[in-house]
Amino acid sequence: MQRLDETRSFIPIGIAVLTVSDTRTMADDRSGDILAERVEKAGHRLAARAIVTDDVEQIRDQVRAWSATEEIDVIITTGGTGFTGRDVTPEALEPIFDKRMDGFSEVFHRISYDKIGTSTIQSRATGGVIDATFVFVLPGSPGACKDAWDGILAAQLDYRHMPCNFVEIMPRLDEHLKRGAGRPA
């Protein structure tokens, strides 16, 4: 069963929040506000925050730029995970994942199902790793952002969380690069 190991010190990490929307501004971005507040309340650093439109290249460009920044360990996006014509966040990010995190989507949907029932199938929440940076792609609703943070991310982004957590493996996410993988001998 999961628990907090109080003998371990909390390790704050840098988290960026990206809202994907054609209509939101910083003044009315409730989902981005919820995530930013939870990040800071947990003791992490809100390393960056931005809004981009529902455009594959804009989404990719922002996430790639942040994933290349040492101060950012995790990127959380909100918005663009539905089925309408403008919902393109999974299409933008899944092709550039170095590794996909199927379990994130599965657990998110289980938590969501308990709250909104079968409506959870209208979300294509996903997660993965890009350039040794964890990326979580959340729906744009404030409730979904709360569920993802409170039900998954708060624990997995806490070094004290047992039996395992993402923070403890962050230093090893790019170890394949350190061994020279992909380079000619």
Is residue 119 in some structural domain?
yes
Q: Within a domain: residue 15?
A: yes
pLDDT of residue 177 exceeding 70, the answer is: no
Mean pLDDT (the chain, rounded): 94
- The domain that holds 85 is classified in CATH as 3.40.980.10
Whole-model pTM: value is: 0.94
Q: Is the pLDDT of residue 52 over 90?
A: yes
Inside any domain, residue 1 = no
Q: How far apart are the first and last CA of the chain?
A: 45
pLDDT tens string 119-165: 999 999 999 999 999 999 999 999 999 999 999 999 999 999 999 99
140 in any annotated domain: yes
Q: What is d(CA 83, CA 163) in angstroms, rounded to the nearest whole number?
A: 36
Q: Residue type for 170, please? A: M
Residue 161 covered by a domain? yes
| Mean pLDDT in residue range 17-46 | 97
Give me the number of domains the chain comprises: 1
Task: Please check the confidence at residue 181 and state whether its pLDDT lies above 70.
Answer: no
Q: What is the pLDDT of residues 68-95, one digit of tens each?
A: 999 999 999 999 999 999 999 999 999 9
Q: Is the pLDDT assigned to residue 172 strictly greater than 70?
A: yes
* pLDDT 10s digits, 62-72: 999 999 999 99
> What pLDDT shows up at residue 183?
45
Number of CB atoms found within 10 A of residue 173's CB: 17
- Reported as a single tens digit per residue, the pLDDT across 96-107 is 999 999 999 999
Domain holding 168, by residue range, is 11-178
Q: Within a domain: residue 6?
A: no
Does 183 map to a domain?
A: no
How many C-beta atoms lie closer than 10 Å to residue 164's C-beta? Answer: 10
